[in-house]
C-alpha cells in the first residue's frame, strides 16, 4: 500500500484493513464514484491519476483537483457523512483500493496516529483548495495556466538532457481549462503565448518547460 497514512497502523490493524480492502482497476474515463452516491468507505489511489469534479444542478461542472498515486479519495465525504459531494473519474488507467467504512472506523478509534495522518491529509487538501481560490481570484488565465503546469510537473514532469522539464499532461486542454476556471480556447491561446515567449514548448499533451526560473519570474511579473 505504499507509504501513506497506513504506515501509522500496527501490523494486526493493517491486516484487518488489508483483508477488508477491495482492489479495483479503472480505465481512462471510468467513474470510481458519483456525486450523490452513498459513501461506503474511502478509496486510495495506488497508481494513475483521478479527477475529482463537482457538478451543479444546472449541469455545469468544475474539476476541483487531481488525485495522484498515494492520495486518498472521499475521506472528507466519509467524515462529513452525507454521501459523496463530488465525482471521481479515472484520467488514465488507475488502480484504486476501496476500504469499507467499518474496519476503517475501528482502526481510527484504536489508533489516534491514523487520525492524525488523515487530519494532516485534510489540511493539505484545504491548503490546495485555498490556493486555487486565491489564484482564480487574483490571476489571469496565463498565470493560472502556468500555475497548473507547475503543480503538474512534480508528479508528471521529467528532466531531459537539455535541462528542461518535460511534462506529460494527464488531461485534455478541455479538462485543464475546467481546472483553472477558463475556456479551452483561452487555455490554448495562453499556451500559445507562452510558447511565443519561449517559456515552454508544446507538442500534443507534452509540454516542455524550457527554463523553470524564467517561468517563475513570469508569474511574479504578471500584471494581474
Partner DNA sequence: CGGTTCCTTGATAACGATCAAAGGCCGTGG
Partner DNA sequence: CCACGGCCTTTGATCGTTATCAAGGAACCG
Residue 160 binding target from its own copies, DNA, none, CB below 5 to 8 Å by type: none
The closest alpha carbon to 212, from 155, 169, 168, 149, belongs to 149
Please report how close the Cβ of residue 11 comes to its own copies at its closest, in angstroms: 20
Query: Binding string, 135-174, against DNA, x = CB under 7 A?
Result: -----xxx-----------------------------xxx
Size of the site for DNA (CB under 7 A): 23
Determine, following the binding rule CB under 7 A, whether residue 59 of this chain makes contact with DNA.
Answer: no
Residue 122 binding target from DNA, its own copies, none, CB below 5 to 8 Å by type: its own copies
Q: How are beta strands 157-159 and 165-168 bridged, if at all?
A: antiparallel
Q: Which helix (H) or strand (E) holds 178?
A: helix 173-180
Q: How are beta strands 94-100 and 22-26 bridged, if at all?
A: antiparallel
Please report how close the Cβ of residue 59 comes to DNA at its closest, in angstroms: 13
Please report how close the Cβ of residue 189 comes to its own copies at its closest, in angstroms: 18
* Cα torsion through 35, 40, 45, 50, rounded to 10: -10
Stretch that binds DNA, among 49-57, 75-83, 150-158, 185-193 (CB under 7 A): 185-193
SS3 126: helix
Determine, following the binding rule CB under 7 A, whether residue 194 of this chain makes contact with DNA.
Answer: no
**Considering only residues 80, 134, 183, 197, which one is a binding residue for DNA as defined by CB under 7 A?**
183
Instruction: State the residue for C-alpha cell 472506523.
Output: 105
Stretch that binds DNA, among 5-13, 46-54, 90-98, 177-185 (CB under 7 A): 177-185
CB nearer to its own copies: give 28 or 214.
214
Please report how close the Cβ of residue 143 comes to DNA at its closest, in angstroms: 8
Please report how close the Cβ of residue 22 comes to its own copies at its closest, in angstroms: 23
Cell of 164: 528542461
d(CA 110, CA 3): 20
Determine, following the binding rule CB under 7 A, whether residue 222 of this chain makes contact with DNA.
Answer: no
Query: Which of 188-222 are b and which e, b meaning 16 or more Cβ less than 10 Å from the residue's Cβ?
Result: bebbeebbeeebbeeeeeebbbbebeebeebeeee
**Measured in Å, how far apart are the chain's first and last C-alpha atoms?**
42
Please report, as ranges, the residues that interact with DNA according to CB under 7 A: 140-142, 172-174, 181-192, 202, 204-205, 223-224
Amino acid at each position: 500500500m505504499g507509504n501513506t497514512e497506513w504506515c501509522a497502523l500496527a501490523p494486526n490493524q493493517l491486516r484487518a484493513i488489508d483483508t477488508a480492502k477491495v482492489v479495483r482497476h479503472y480505465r481512462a474515463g471510468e467513474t470510481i464514484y458519483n456525486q450523490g452516491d452513498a459513501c461506503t468507505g474511502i478509496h486510495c489511489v495506488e497508481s494513475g491519476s483521478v479527477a475529482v469534479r463537482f457538478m451543479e444542478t444546472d449541469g455545469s461542472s468544475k474539476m476541483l483537483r487531481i488525485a495522484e498515486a498515494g492520495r486518498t479519495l472521499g475521506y472528507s465525504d466519509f467524515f462529513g457523512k452525507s454521501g459523496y459531494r463530488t465525482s471521481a473519474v479515472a484520467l488514465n488507467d488507475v488502480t484504486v483500493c476501496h476500504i469499507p467504512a467499518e474496519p476503517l472506523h475501528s482502526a481510527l478509534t484504536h489508533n489516534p496516529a491514523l487520525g492524525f495522518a488523515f487530519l494532516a491529509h485534510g489540511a493539505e487538501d484545504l491548503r490546495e483548495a485555498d490556493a486555487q481560490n486565491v489564484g482564480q481570484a487574483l490571476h489571469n488565465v496565463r498565470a493560472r495556466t502556468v500555475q497548473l503546469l507547475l503543480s503538474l510537473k512534480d508528479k508528471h514532469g521529467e528532466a531531459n538532457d537539455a535541462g528542461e522539464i518535460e511534462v506529460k499532461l494527464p488531461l485534455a486542454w478541455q479538462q485543464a481549462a475546467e481546472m483553472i476556471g477558463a475556456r479551452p480556447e483561452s487555455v490554448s491561446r495562453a499556451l500559445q503565448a507562452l510558447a511565443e515567449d519561449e517559456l515552454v514548448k508544446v507538442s500534443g499533451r507534452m509540454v516542455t518547460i524550457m527554463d523553470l526560473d524564467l517561468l517563475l519570474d513570469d508569474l511574479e511579473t504578471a500584471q494581474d
